[in-house]
Each structure stands twice: as C-alpha cells, then as structure tokens.
Amino acid sequence: MWAVLCRLRRMKVECELKAKCCALEVADSEHTVSVYQKLLAGQKQHITTLQDEIHKTREQLLELQHNTELQLVMKQGRVEINTTGLISDFDDAILITCKQIESVNEMIKKAGNQKLAAMHRANNFHQGILIKEWEHKMLRMEIEALQDHLHNLQSIKVTRDIQLFLNRQAEDTEDKTILSLKQELDLLKQSHEKTIQEIQKQLDDLDKKISTQKKENQRLDNKVTDLNIDINEQQLLRDFEFESRQTEAAKQRMTSIVRRSKLAAIIQKQHSEILVLQMELELLRLKTYPTLIT
C-alpha cells in the first residue's frame, strides 16, 4: 500500500514537473513568438517605407524624363524675350530651330515683295491717271483756243481797205502806212517770239529739273525698297532707329512728290501762258493781216 502511494506521489511530482516544464516552454515560445511578431511588424513597416521611397523615386525619375531642365547658352541675337534676370522670364518661351525662322523670313520677304509690287502698280496707275487728266485738260484748252480762233476768223469782215491792201499786195505796191504796219507787226512778232523762246527755255529748264527729280525719286524709290526689305528681314528684331530712318525716307519721298506736283503745276501754267501768247500773236496778225475764208 505504501509502495503504491509512493509510486503515485512520484508520478504526481513527475507530472507537475512535466507541467511546469511545458508551461515554461509555452511561455518561452510565446515570448519568442511575440519577439518575432514585433520583428515582423518592424520589417513590414520598413518594407512599406521602402515601397514609398521606391514610388517617390520612380515619380521623380518620370518627372526628370518628361520635364528635363536644360541650360541652353544662346547668342543675344537669337533671343527674342525681354530678359530681367529671372527664370520666370522663360515660362512662355518656345525653342524654334533656325530653319523654321528662315522659312518664316522667306515668307515675310515674299509677302513684302508682293506688297511692294502692288504699291508700285498702284503708284504707276495713279500717275497714269494724273497724266491722262493733264492731257485731257490740255486738249480741252487747245479746243477752246481753236474755237476762239475760229470764231474770230468767222467774225472778221472784209472792208474796202482790206480789199485795197490785198490788191496792192498783188500789184507789189505798198504804201508807207502798210510798211509801218508791217514793221510794227515784225517787231511784235519778234517780241512774242523772244517771249516764247524765253518761256521755252524755262520749260527746258523745268524739264531738266523734272528729269533730275525723277532720278532722285527713282533713287528714293530704290532706297525705300531696300528699307522695306530690311524691315521684312528684321521683323522679329524691332529697331526704333530703323523705324525713324524709314519715317524720314517716307517724308523725303512725300517732299519729292510735292515738289513734283509743284513742277507739274508750273509746267501747266507755263504751257497755258504759251498758248495765251500764241493766241495773242495770232490775234495781232489777224488785226494787221486778216485772212479770208475761201
């Protein structure tokens, strides 16, 4: 009986020891599991941080690939932006190749040449109209002068004195009165011819001035053409000094046009005076030697 109790007591103690050992092992295992869980949570947090860094790095890489910042050093003549020394000056800037600019310049030159050709045609057409108007006025004045001359001829009456004069002319018998009239007529004729020669000389001088002025106008036209070509070439580089020179050239051309108009007016006036003098000469001739309408 005692032996059985001892054996049972021993078995109980052994079971308690085994239970304590198992409890210690379980506690150790739980501690180990807790430590490893903490390590796993830390590693997961580290992995999440690394993934965020990888995502940020990838976004930065894409940003650099798509929006790369380059430093371009260009000549001042190729920059068409008003610079103030700030990076924001180039926010709206566009980089264009030289070929595109040259192509645009060629188009501008072509359009400028077409505009100049149209302006020349319009100017020539306007000058042609002015010349035709002047010729028309001149022809109308000649017609009026001829009509007056015809009217004077038709209104002349052949008197007996005129008949006697004609008869004496046929018989080569001239009296002193007729001789004095002829001398007076010759003097008047010489005076009028001298006046006409002087006016003709003035007209020649005016023609020379007009020729010189035309050459000057041609030179100014060529200069204006060259200036317009320079404007088209320097369309993107605006130069206020060049604009002032262009304005001065336009003023010179306008002055030349005004001078040309004044010379044309002087020529018309001189021509009218010549016509008046010729008409007066014819009237004097008619008063002295009237002609008969046959």
For residue 75, is it within any domain?
no
**Residue 91 falls within a domain, yes or no?**
no
Question: What does the pLDDT read at residue 149?
Answer: 75
Task: Please report whether residue 18 resides in a domain.
Answer: no
CA–CA gap between residue 272 and residue 280 (Å, rounded): 12
Examine residue 191 and state whether it is found in any structural domain, yes or no: yes
Residues of the chain with pLDDT under 70: 1, 76-79, 153-182, 184-185, 188, 232-243, 286-294
Domain-located, residue 97? no
Q: Is residue 281 part of a domain?
A: yes
On the 0-12 / 13-18 / 19+ scale of CB atoms within 10 A, 30 is: exposed
Q: Is residue 207 part of a domain?
A: yes
Break the chain down into helix, strand, coil percent, rounded to 5: 85, 0, 15
- Give the structural domain span for 230: 105-171+179-288
Structure tokens of 137? 């006025």
What single letter denotes the amino acid at residue 10?
R
Give the C-alpha distances (Å, rounded to integers) separating 69 from 47, 56, 64, 134.
32, 19, 8, 71
In a domain, 125, yes or no: yes
Dihedral sign of CA atoms 210, 213, 219, 222 in order: negative
| Count: domains in the chain | 1
pLDDT in the model for residue 287: 63
Tokens for 10, please give them.
């021993």
Q: Tell me what pLDDT residue 293 has.
A: 43
